[in-house]
């Protein structure tokens, strides 16, 4: 049996066309309940105009990331009992991104920065050639593997205080993507990657505060990936080869 | 200068400053044991090419390092952008260089 009947849930409402304001709902409390369940209950039972985003509900797609009591989280994988502050929860749209409406953040700047960080594959071969064999035990492959499980949920981007202070900063996810490609034996243009992460808002803007690594729900380590890019650019500066 | 070159300049100036800071503090602690007057300090530093080079390089490194660091803070904390941020941080760097050079000149020449 739950210890309490109801939760007090404060949800941020509004968007570009209406003022941002908090709205509080009383939501039935259950023993087993995620934050996404709570938001869905509000939308289905209290206010059908509440806007939010989700898809898989099992921590695979990354769509349902929101701020929960000021912390970016996948709401589908966050049990209410783990985050309750007294009897209350505050839910808001992801930080560091524009708000479309209510809990739905506009992900465009996040993905634009993936492109700006050269997060695209530069092939070494054409479709007419054999597939290049990859040795799974090399250090480079291990470094690439460490980052490829990113599902682009933007939790790290929202957690990052450097993004908050510097709108040009590419952010942890885009830079980690660049680092995985830099270490990919099948990528043909490492210099283009280093150029892309050396410009305005590139990896050198990172202050190594580590919120990305601390909050990543997939337990990835963008902080170390960014440190790797800093090392790689410094080595190239001194004429060193990878 | 690109962001990357500023980054390298700040790291390299830090590398230069690290031994200077240690020697500076170490010598101060060592030299003041038993008391030391201003005249005695100047007697040892004035005309010394070593201390001129030591503190001269220290001042140059500090000016570079601090100006670049403050440029970042001016952007992230004070919201300055573009040319205004570069101008203010360059002025801070030149100011530190002028003040430091004046002190080095007075104490070691």
In tens, the pLDDT along A47-65 reads 999 999 999 999 999 999 9
Do A139 and A91 lie in one domain? The reply is no
Query: By the CB < 8 Å criterion, does B82 face chain A?
Result: no
pLDDT for position A1: 44
Verify that A100 and A156 share a domain, yes or no.
Answer: no
Range of the domain at A228: 108-237
8 Å CB contact between B108 and B51: yes
Residues 6+ apart with CB under 8 A from A34: A75, A76, A77, A78, A79, A80
Q: Residue A241: what pLDDT?
A: 60
Residue B83's domain comprises 3-108
pLDDT per position as a tens digit, B9-57: 999 999 999 999 999 999 989 988 888 888 988 998 999 999 999 999 9
Q: Are residues A198 and A151 in the same domain?
A: yes
Nearest CA in chain A to B80: A166
Give chain B positions within 8 Å (CB) of A233. 4
Sign of the alpha-carbon dihedral angle for A183, A185, A191, A196: negative
Q: What is the dihedral of CA A206, A208, A210, A212, to 10 degrees?
A: 20
A208 close to B (CB below 8 A): no
Look at residues A54, A82, A105 and tell me which one is the last residue of a structural domain.
Answer: A105
Q: How many domains does chain B have?
A: 1
Number of residues that make up chain B = 109
Among A204, A233, A234, A235, the residue to mutate for chain B (most B Cβ within 10 A): A204
Residues A114, A101 share a domain:
no
Domain at A14, CATH number: 3.10.20.30
Model ipTM value: 0.85
- CA B73 to chain A, closest CA, distance in angstroms equals 9
Whether A1 is in a domain gets the answer no
Q: What total number of domains does chain A contain?
A: 2
pLDDT for res A202: 96
Task: Answer whether B7 touches A (CB < 8 Å).
Answer: yes
Do A123 and A229 belong together in one domain? Answer: yes
B8 contacts in A (CB within 8 Å)? 234, 237
- Give the DSSP H/E element, type plus range, for residue A33: none
**Spans of chain A, pLDDT less than 70:** 1-4, 241-242
3-state secondary structure of B34: coil
Helix (H, G, I), strand (E, B) or coil at A99: strand
Same domain, A88 and A160: no
Whether residue A242 lies inside any domain: the answer is no
Identify the three-state secondary structure at position A165: helix
**Average model confidence (pLDDT) across chain B:** 94
Tell me how close the Cα of B25 comes to any Cα of chain A, in angstroms. 27
CB contact under 8 A, B4 and A237: yes
Region of A113 please: left (phi>0), alpha (psi -120 to 50) or beta.
Answer: alpha
A71-74, strands of its sheet edge to edge: A18-28, A6-15, A88-92, A65-68, A71-74
Residues A36 and A56 in one domain: yes
């Amino acid at each position: 049996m739950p210890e309490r009947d109801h939760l007090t849930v404060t949800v941020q409402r509004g968007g570009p066309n209406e003022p941002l304001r908090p709205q509080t709902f009383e939501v039935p409390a259950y023993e087993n309940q995620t934050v996404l369940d709570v938001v869905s209950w509000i939308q289905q039972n209290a206010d059908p105009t509440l806007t939010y985003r989700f898809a898989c509900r099992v921590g695979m797609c990354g769509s349902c990331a929101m701020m929960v009591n000021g912390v970016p989280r996948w709401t589908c994988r966050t049990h209410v009992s783990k985050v309750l502050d007294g009897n209350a929860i505050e839910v808001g749209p992801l930080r560091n991104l524009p708000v479309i409406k209510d809990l739905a953040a506009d992900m465009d700047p996040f993905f634009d920065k993936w492109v700006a960080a050269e997060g695209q594959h530069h092939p070494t071969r054409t479709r007419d050639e054999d597939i290049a064999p990859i040795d799974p035990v090399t250090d480079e492959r291990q470094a690439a593997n460490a980052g490829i499980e990113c599902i682009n949920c933007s939790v790290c981007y929202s957690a990052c205080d450097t993004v908050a202070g510097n709108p040009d900063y590419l952010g942890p996810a885009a830079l980690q993507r660049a680092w995985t490609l830099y270490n990919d034996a099948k990528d043909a243009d490492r210099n283009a990657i280093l150029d892309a992460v050396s410009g305005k808002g590139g990896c050198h803007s990172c202050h190594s505060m580590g919120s990305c690594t601390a909050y990543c729900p997939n337990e990835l380590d963008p902080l170390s990936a960014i440190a790797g890019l800093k090392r790689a650019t410094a080595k190239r500066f001194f004429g060193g080869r990878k | 200068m690109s962001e990357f070159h500023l980054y390298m300049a700040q790291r390299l100036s830090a590398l230069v400053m690290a031994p200077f800071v240690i020697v500076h503090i170490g010598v101060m602690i060592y030299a003041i044991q038993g008391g030391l007057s201003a005249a005695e300090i100047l007697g040892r530093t004035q005309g010394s090419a070593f201390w001129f080079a030591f503190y001269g390089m220290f001042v140059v490194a500090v000016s570079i390092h601090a100006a670049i660091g403050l440029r970042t803070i001016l952007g992230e904390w004070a919201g300055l952008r573009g040319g205004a941020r570069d101008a203010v941080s360059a002025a801070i760097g030149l100011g530190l260089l002028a003040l430091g050079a004046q002190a080095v000149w007075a104490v070691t020449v």
